[in-house]
Amino acid sequence: SRMLPLALLVLLLGPAGCPKTEPLSGSGQDPLFRGADRYDFAVVIPAGTVECFWQFAHQSGNFFFSYEVQRATGIGNTRNILATASDPKGFQLGTSQHVRGQINFLTKETGFYRLCLDNEQNHFGFMQVYLNFGVYYEGVGTENTQPEERKELNNTLEAIEVSIRKLQLKIFHMWRFYNFARMRKGADSFLLESNYSYVNGWSMAQSCVIVLSGVLQLYFLKRLFAVQTSSRQKC
């Protein structure tokens, strides 16, 4: 029937239609469809709504979540937004309510971690938020293989492996700093455009007021010195 594919779609998307980064595969024998371990993108949060995302993480991982509000509309034009992070059981791990913020924690269990952005306080405008979140693992991989099952390596190969892991970790942190710079660049760019439009608008309005006041002054001065001629002829 047509209701079965719709039900499967709802199960894959999760509650409230929010996307998950690592949905289950269709067959129970197949492994999980692995998503990326880190994401960076911009999202628009409509007025009075909450947008949530799910990121899959294994146990003993380093979870990071950073955001920055690039632009906001509305009456108050406030750029503060409420960001929350929760574990697979729904327990809240951290909150942040600023223009930009970070939530970092260690993953104590394997599962989907929920990240939410709350724009319910702003009822008249949207917010564009840049997100950077994911998980990384130090030292060991995610396969959790037993030490006795690993192949014995000589000292040279072990040293190369350790060096490569350190290099990968440093590259990853460089990528994070690069994304922080992208966040600030985007926010500064929107702020410059807003200030540019503001200055141009007020300059145009003040120019119009100056011209209008000059015309009115000239008009009233001409009326003040105008000679009123009587309609009756003098004898």
Burial-class residue 129 by CB neighbours within 10 Å (0-12, 13-18, 19+).
buried
Tell me the percentage of the chain whose pLDDT exceeds 90. Answer: 23
Give 93-145 pLDDT, tens digit per residue: 999 998 888 999 999 999 999 999 999 888 888 888 999 898 988 765 444 44
Give 203-225 pLDDT, tens digit per residue: 888 888 888 888 888 888 887 77
- Four-point Cα dihedral 138, 139, 143, 149, nearest 10: -170
38-139+155-190 maps to which CATH number?
Answer: 2.60.120.680
Query: Tokens in use for 195?
Result: 């200030």
Count of CB atoms within 10 A of residue 200's CB? 10
Q: Specify the pLDDT at position 12.
A: 41
Three-point CA angle 217, 219, 223, nearest 5°: 115
**Alpha-carbon span 200 to 232, nearest angstrom:** 55
Phi/psi at 137 (5° precision): -125, 130
Q: Bridge partners of 103? A: 65
